[in-house]
Amino acid sequence: MTRLSRFPFPLAADTFTYTTNVEPARVPVATAAGEWGAGIVEPDDEYRTEVAERAAVVARDPSRVQLLPHMRPAAWDALLTLLRELAAQCPAHMALVEGPQCVWRNDLLGVEQRFTVGDDESLPGGPLGFLNGQLQEDVVLLDQREDALWVDAGAVAFAADWSLAFVTGMRFAEVHRPVVARVHEAGVLTRAEQFLLRLPPGAEYRRLNWTLSVDRRLDLSTEVREEWEPQRAALAAAPPAELGRRVHLRVELQHLIRLGASGAVLFLIRTHLLSLDELAAVPLWRRRVGRVLAALPDDVADYKGLTGVRPGVVRWCLGP
């Protein structure tokens, strides 16, 4: 499938309001360009490129993988769960043989790895470091204690203006504190946390989140903000042709899964990027993005980092 045909377009109306927007996972969604959402993880034609980039990010900055000691069982639970998912999605190229010594085979990457569950030394980078090099998704693990969720482990190479190293050990509510006031007033975060706290073992849900970004850059973490922030600011004065080529609609397909063995909440984030030029192949999407941005409250635009580039993108989307 092409990038356009599998793109999870996130805007169902011409205005945008923060909601929990959670729905059951594994339900295919038909769009004006194709379909998405049949699986939890869906390797595609950008799999090798994105996995290589993830590995390179972590090699440069090992702090992108975090694991508090009490989360080791959850990390192994996540590893086995997601390797099984990959094997189910790509049976011709991937396989997991489980036993006293497990064997993972990934022909797309030329990997055959033997490991013992629970033995971090049996996997390069441990369970989360190894998983980072097999998935296109970022992985976050939430522990549940004291009637709250805590961000206590993960492998995140493609964060959108946040840092896993900074938030590790923080409560879910603290991580999301610096959001726009209207989100707190509407109780969205409280409802989201309560929903996650009540997830039974094996439950699988998903949601979409979106913003705009520059070029096809996946790593927008705070650790490298000095690299991407000036590029985004410079686009405020860019001509239309440059906007169409360089501005991308960035959509996160987020899966929320209660792991059965450990009880942790697995939070997966797959990032999709589509340039405005590519978006224009679906006129409805082009117009909707323009209308949503035009109607977006200023505080929401500021929070998403869209204030500078918004006028030019609105003109690009709604112009002749």
Q: What is the pLDDT of residues 115-136, one digit of tens each?
A: 999 999 999 999 999 999 999 9
SS3 62: helix
Q: Are strands 23-24 and 102-106 parallel, antiparallel or unpaired?
A: unpaired
Reduce the DSSP state of residue 266 to 3 states and report it. Answer: strand
Encoded tokens for 22: 């959670």
Tell me: pLDDT of 261 over 90.
Answer: yes
| Cα separation, 254 vs 268, whole angstroms | 5
The torsion angle over the Cα atoms of residues 37, 42, 48 and 49, rounded to 10 degrees, is 20
Vertex 2: Cα angle to 131 and 162 (nearest 5): 45
Query: Residue 237 burial by CB count (10 A; 0-12/13-18/19+): exposed, middle or buried?
Result: exposed
Marked catalytic residue, from 72, 207, 245, 287: 207
Element holding 313 (H helix, E strand): helix 310-318
The tokens for 90 are 């790509």
Supply the pLDDT for residue 19.
72
User: pTM here?
Assistant: 0.95
Question: Are the CB atoms for 78 and 264 separated by under 8 Å?
Answer: yes
Amino acid letter, residue 266: L
CA 115 to CA 311: how far, in whole Å? 53
Q: How many residues does the chain have?
A: 320
Report yes or no: 209 and 254 within 8 Å, Cβ to Cβ.
yes
pLDDT the model gives residue 182: 58
Identify the pLDDT of residue 186: 59
pLDDT at 142 over 90: yes
Residue 207 bears catalytic tag: yes
Helix axes 310-318, 283-295, angle to 10 degrees: 140
- pLDDT tens digit sequence for 209-253: 999 999 999 999 999 999 999 998 888 889 999 999 999 999 999
Residue with tokens 């323009």: 290
Window from 46-55, 132-141, 184-193, 292-301 with minimum mean pLDDT: 184-193
